[in-house]
Structure 1
């Protein structure tokens, strides 16, 4: 298993314990890739490795997620490679279920549900939005569904042969690197499989600012992916930027043409109605925050997509992929 970490002193031991306590009879190793942290993450990781021979620590000088993942993959040895985050909470049967699913389906990558679970009222509202089609569309790794082929999955448990075939994670992509690599796996004949029994608990962002930043960068880098791989965008991804552009146009036109206000007004009404429908069972404090959460996710993602600068685009993907392929073969 591979785990890129940065500033994870607080959660690292618990995350490692959940990995090493997996109900799995095969060989198990954990490679922790440590970025330049501002806390004691490096010291904690080194101490864990000294205590358990199954743990290896490697450096990720850039601190970027795809670089850390590639460094950990290169240091790992087993034919199955499972990605896990430093603050993820894995169920005990996660790895066993993944390996069984790989064998049963012949897939190159399997993954399950990103089960958002909040503690504070704001986090509870985000968790509700992240498991709702109003918030994230029909992505099964958010909303659940039947097992089967998928465009992408949460985290991922891979056959090493598939990672070698596509050259690992593309280090150009600071975000959306999972979707991008799964696309290359599928383009080279591989199968990505959604397995809802693989359910991983996830703690949502704790405030509006952090949530807005997260979704802004999601939108920004999803557009970079769409520029790199033509034909990979669909209506689900275009809905937020279309809504942002329409509301901006309506507000600009409203001083001269008052019906322009109907566009943002209709959005607000739809969000309020959707919050009532999807917020059933939430505590009142969380329900009150749900419209704000939906709006933050939609508008941040859409704005990030619309303002994604062309300079972020990957101009020469093939040489870069060849470099990554050499990295894994050396």
Structure 2
């Protein structure tokens, strides 16, 4: 399955879970519980990379580590996810490395299925499906955006599909040899670090594998303001990856930036028409991008399931528009100015 063969794994290899933690007091205990409760008979360890949280995350982590010798802590003074993951990986010891997030929960069979997929395919990294969920009306609307192709679209891990080689993987169940061979996460890429690492793995001849039997529950942002911050940062760093890797990026990553430019031009035309600076007539065609996008959002909201009533549909529309426009605005910022210190602090 790969041009860079990896040595065979034993039936039950020991696994190291690595988790960056920053301001996750509402999710951390439950995420750790889901890791330690994995239905897997091989040896397990969990390394938490602790950033300088402003909430009780560090105290919660210290209490967990004091109560369970399988849990170890390392400091992540840089706060950034790639740096924290590298620190946790260096502190871990086992041949299989499993990335987990504090705002995600693994299904009980996640490890067993993932290790089996590594053994069956010879892949260097295996990932599954991210299933977003929410507890409040806004968070559920944001989750619907995540789970729909009309929200994020493109990545196999945002929906069910067939097993096979993939461009990237959500989180990831890695062979340590492959991580070491490509030098780990790039600490200079503050968002999109998974895609960038998987690109380097594929270029080194390793296989990245999508396994839809793997499931992870993801708890997204719970407000549109936090969602906007997150997606602006994500779009910015996607543009950095476009600047760095060019055509290795799929065409779909250019769509939100193009959308924002088109909508901005359409809004300018609308303003000039309404103030009579431009005459009506052919100039009204300049409203086409805005009208087309409004119809597209209406169609997407109509197609997305699990909505009850007008309020849910309005919230879903708001989530989709926030995702598209903030991602696109961030992309335009990144493509012109680079990433700088644009970082997602929405969970702070």
TM-score by length of 2: 0.86
1:305 matched residue in structure 2: 331
Cα-Cα RMSD? 1.5
Q: Is the partner of 1:30 in helix, strand or coil?
A: strand
Partner of 2:51: 35
Indicate whether 1:281 and 2:297 are aligned. Answer: no
Give the alignment partner of residue 270 of structure 1, picking from 291, 296, 314: 296
Tell me, yes or no, if the aligned pair for 1:130 and 1:143 is still in contact at 8 Å.
no
Q: 1:89 to 1:159 in 2, by over 3 A?
A: same
Partner of 2:167, secondary structure, is coil
Distance 1:213 1:40 in 2: 23
Structure 1 stretches of at least 4 aligned residues deviating more than 3 Å after TM superposition:
309-314
Q: Distance between the aligned counterparts of 1:247 and 1:241, measured in 2?
A: 10
Question: 2: CA distance between counterparts of 1:130 and 1:94?
Answer: 21
1:251 to 267, 273, 296: 267
Residue 291 (1) aligns with residue 291 (2): no
> Using the alignment, how far apart are the partners of 2:260 and 2:185 within structure 1?
31
Contact 1:228 1:313 in 2 (8 A): no
Aligned length: 313
Shift of 1:311: 5.2
Unaligned runs of 5+ in 2: 1-16, 273-277, 341-348
1:324 equivalent in structure 2? none
The 2-side partners of 1:132 and 1:30 are apart by 32
Q: In the TM superposition, what whole-angstrom CA distance separates every residue of 1:59-86 from its partner, at most 9, and x where no partner exists?
A: 0011111110000000000000000011
5 Å-filtered alignment, 1:17-166, equals 17-166=33-182
Partners of 1:93 and 1:188 in 2: CA distance:
30
* 8 A contact 2:236–2:339 mirrored in 1: no
Q: Provide the C-alpha distance between the structure 2 equivalents of 1:4 and 1:282, rounded to a whole number of angstroms.
A: 33
Structure 1 unpaired stretches of 5+ = 315-330
Distance, in Å, in 1 between the alignment partners of 2:296 and 2:103 is: 34
- How far, CA to CA, are the matches of 1:251 and 1:87 in structure 2? 37
Cα distance between partner residues in 2 of 1:120 and 1:52: 32
Q: Distance in 2 between matches of 1:187 and 1:220?
A: 24
Aligned-partner Cα distance in 1 for 2:300–2:287 = 20
Whether contact under 8 Å (1:33, 1:68) holds in the other structure is: yes
Output aligned runs, 1:186-197, within 5 Å. 186-197=202-213
More deviation, 129-138/184-193: 129-138
